Chains A and B, each alone.
Chain A
Amino acid sequence: MNNRPIIVSLTVMLLIAVSAGVYLGLGARPNLGLDLQGGISAVYTPQLPEGQEEPEDFDEIIDETIAIIRERVDSLGVAEPEIARSGDDVMVQLPGIADADRVQEIIGTTAQLSFRRVIEEIPPGSQRYDEGPDCAAPVDEREELADDEEGILCGSSDDALVDPDTGEEQPSKFEVGPAELTGEHVDDAFVQIGQGQQAFNVGLDLDNEGGEVFADITADLACLRDQGREARFAIVLDGLVESAPGVNPGVACGVGITGGSATITTGSGLDRETQEEEASDLALVLRTGALPISLEASTFQNVSPTLGAESLRSGILAGLIGLLLVAGWLIWFYRWVGVVAVAEVSMYGLLVIAGIAAMGHVGFALTLAGVAGIIVSIGITGDSAIIYAERIRDEVNLGKTVRTAVRRAHHSAWRTNLTGNTVTIAAATILYFLAVGPVRGFALMLGVSSVLDLIIMYFFARPTVYLLADRGILTRKNVGASDPTAAVTAGARA
């Protein structure tokens, strides 16, 4: 019989197992979810201001809101914050943070839009740059500027310079006047196709009151411009100056931009694509400011690090004890085939942990539910070994030689296993896509385990058992077949 393919597949599987072992031996460890390492995990659901209807671009506005939250959280300096969107919900994962009140304040506060006059721009490196807020400090520790105050604000970090010494981002600062117009007066903002050099602009529509205020501001600014002084207004969202456009030469001093709509040109001198991007970014900032969404906590979980560590420890302990018990049972019941089964289960354990550690690089974290999924899957892997062992015995009982029996048995056991695992994989896939939170982590582990089970059975258990049978290590007796003489006796009785 040609043994080559089975030896090749066995060697490849063993190599994979060894490299998984080495990978873990070199210190690779799975990323731990919050329930295992402690921290805050929350789901926020966006709430529209009362009486407002969901606008068409609700989707984009949520994204922009998330971007604002991300910026706020980033300023906290949390090690690996994760802020992701799932449907309309915002999932926030903050490892190693325990101050729930602070997190709640940072995330739950609504971003406000205001228009303020620019008194002076303070670029990094200039003398006055040390004044005003520290742009690298956490958002909630920066001084806030009330609507009626004038003071210094940080610019958006989008176009910040990087300090060559510290590597810190240094956005421009702006000294600004009090807020003259707030987001509630903005009716709409949209990208317009412009003329000539300027391919894209932002169109701004204000309500009646906003239009009047806007005309006043621009009338004043036009005069300042004529006098050659600073004549810009700052668009401030969530305490950051997002943009500071000036007034066109076409706007007359004392008249301003009337009619409640204006055009803001962005990114002049840039290529078309960047222009479009800048314009749509600014339009989104304005629309988000016009519709201040507040994020309301749907679930909020604060896991103490002690509890997390304890859960992890007990999960590992339970897994190991389970593994040992299963191993003992399988070897006692199935002898040599049981030894192969134990090797299968151990290989599963090794591959699944190495696999999770590898998936950590793409942001996958092991949660408590995942740990449970793995422990449950020990049973699944044990099962495929049991089906095979039982089949071998059946075939030998039918009078086949062990060598033939292991091959026939594999054929039918594989089919059975494939059917069973397909059901499990289907269940896991459906759960993964339809469920939220912990159920997802569990479903993923269950699915991965089922696939691993099939791989191990085909490429590891099969060749190993074939080889054992060919070498004569597996015999009629130690696969647990009934004594042929017993059958004869039974026959004689009939």
Chain B
Amino acid sequence: MRTPTLDFVGLSRRWLMISGTLIAISVLALGVRGLDLSIDFVGGNSYQLIDVREDLTSSELRDAAQDAGAEDVVAQLQTDGEITTGAVVRTESLEPASDTEVAVRTAIEEVSGAQETGFDFVGPVWGERITRQAIEALIVFLIVVVLYITFRLEFRMAVASIVALVHDILITVGIYALVGFNVSPATVIALLTILGYSLYDSVIVFDRVKENAINLGDPGLRTYPELVNASMNQVVYRSINTSITSLLPVGALLLIGAQVLGATTLQDLALALFVGMAVGVYSSLFVAGPLFAAVKLRDPAERKRLEKVLAKGDESEEEAPPAAEAPAPGSPEARAPITTEYVRGQGKGGKRRKR
């Protein structure tokens, strides 16, 4: 297996268009449709009925709950194949063990013939608090991450990582708004995980860029965009394989979770993870790296270097074509001349690095 020679940085415009479109759709969906927030954020009661009558209908449940005094009722049946096995009823926030609440619970238990009932109550203020705490945690986390990456790698890398992260979260949330998936605390947990993954991915790409930066100016690594591109090619297998090994267990969770009645937590979590990680794979390769290269070019020294190489490139097509045109930098074709001898020489380059 050889290091692949894909052109990530050169095609920045294309990625920008794809990401831009996705984000625009997400923001639009968010604005128009909004998110379907679970009772944990807005307050409310939720009843899980297990082993219900097979011929139960959701309108029966809704009517029963409304007759008992609930106002805002949503009833959903859960099926295993053709057979109705369970149901979920959501109402507005009713104090547990209050008269209305007991009446509603008894009514839906009776009409459904449920063998067991689980229920959740979330007070109206609690949801606000949870949401606020999550946002606080997020802000603190982002600050810490920016500081850490700046200290460990480079400030511009921190910025690029955060942009990639916001990109992932926006698109995931957008998909949620578009499809109308329910957003529960499990979803929030999943979003936080995605955030971790997205950063982890960006950090690994940038770590390689930094390591290779010593050889900046070498054949194939003449300009910063080339350097970033070559580094990304070196980690592309890792990115893809990591995504696969991460998606496999999550996929299993999604599949199994879907089979289980009412195990909505697992399902919510797996769904958000699946969507988010898939977006994350894309962004770590096509957003963070190219963006960093673009930001880095704002540095006058790097711009000068690029211009110099570009000018040279005009004279002889053979040597280091500009990044935007194929063949891609880092490819054996561009990395002239490669022989076993030369590669071995690179090995000795370790000494040179220490200089």
Contact = CB atoms under 8 A, between A and B. Distances in A.
B249 A325 contact: yes
Contact of B189 (A108, A300, A434, A442): A442
Nearest to B243: A379
Interface string B295-324: 000000000000000000000000000000
A325 B253 CA distance: 12
Contacts of A426: 141, 144-145, 148
Interface string A57-76: 00000000000000000000
Interface residues of B, number: 92
A386 B249 contact: no
B145 A434 contact: no
Contacts of A375: 249-250, 252-253
B186 A301 contact: no
A386 B338 CA distance: 27
B343 A398 contact: yes
A437 B263 CA distance: 18
Given A311-B266, A325-B252, A423-B203, A299 B122 contact: yes
A481 interface: yes
Given A104-B96, A435-B137, A484-B340, A427 B249 contact: no
A491 B263 contact: no
Nearest to A420: B200
Contacts of B351: none
B250 A299 contact: no
A318 B253 contact: yes
B54 to A, nearest CB: 18
Nearest to A321: B252
Contacts of A11: none
Given A301-B120, A379-B245, A423-B148, A446 B126 contact: no
Contacts of A382: 242, 245-246
Contacts of A435: 133-134, 137
Interface stretch (B14-22, B63-71, B175-183, B254-262): B254-262
Nearest to A317: B256
B120 A318 contact: no
B137 A434 contact: yes
A255 interface: no
Contact of B261 (A310, A319, A491): A310
B252 A494 contact: no
A297 B96 contact: yes
A372 B119 contact: no
Interface in A407-433: 408, 412, 415-416, 419-420, 422-424, 426-427, 430-431
Contacts of B122: 298-299
Interface stretch (B27-35, B221-229, B231-239): B231-239
A390 B204 CA distance: 12
Contacts of B96: 100-101, 104, 297, 300
Contacts of A304: 48, 50, 116-118
Contacts of A431: 137, 141, 192
Contacts of B119: 100, 300-302
Given A307-B48, A430-B144, A302 B118 contact: yes
A480 interface: yes
A314 interface: yes
A461 interface: no
A202 interface: no
Which secondary structure dominates chain A's binding surface?
Answer: helix
B239 to A, nearest CB: 9
Which secondary structure dominates chain B's binding surface?
Answer: helix
Interface in B100-134: 102, 116-123, 125-126, 129-130, 133-134
Interface residues of A, number: 90
B81 interface: no
B192 A321 contact: no
Nearest to B248: A325
A419 B201 CA distance: 11
A422 B118 contact: no
B342 interface: yes
Nearest to A311: B263
B193 interface: yes
Nearest to B201: A420
Nearest to A434: B137
Interface in B132-167: 133-134, 136-137, 140-141, 144-145, 148-149, 152-153
Interface in B258-273: 259-263, 265-266, 269-270, 273
A240 to B, nearest CB: 24
A378 interface: yes
A326 interface: yes
B2 to A, nearest CB: 4
Contact of B340 (A305, A307, A379, A399): A399
A372 B186 contact: yes
A383 interface: yes
A296 B266 contact: no
Contacts of B148: 422-423, 426
A369 interface: yes
B126 to A, nearest CB: 4
B253 A482 contact: no
Contact of B186 (A419, A438, A486): A438
Contacts of A390: 234-235, 237-238, 241
A230 interface: no
B83 interface: no
A376 to B, nearest CB: 6
Contact of A303 (B118, B152, B195, B260): B118
3 A-B pairs with the lowest CB-CB distances in the bound complex, closest first: A322-B249, A379-B246, A104-B97
27 contacts: A38-B118, A104-B96, A298-B123, A300-B120, A307-B118, A307-B261, A314-B256, A318-B252, A321-B256, A322-B248, A322-B251, A326-B249, A329-B241, A372-B253, A379-B246, A387-B238, A390-B235, A398-B346, A399-B340, A420-B203, A420-B204, A423-B148, A426-B144, A434-B136, A436-B133, A439-B134, A491-B332
Interface of A: 35, 38, 43, 45, 100-101, 104-105, 108, 296-307, 310-311, 313-315, 317-319, 321-323, 325-326, 329-330, 333, 368-369, 371-372, 375-376, 378-380, 382-383, 386-387, 390, 393-394, 397-400, 408, 412, 415-416, 419-420, 422-424, 426-427, 430-431, 434-439, 442, 446, 480-482, 484, 486-488, 490-494
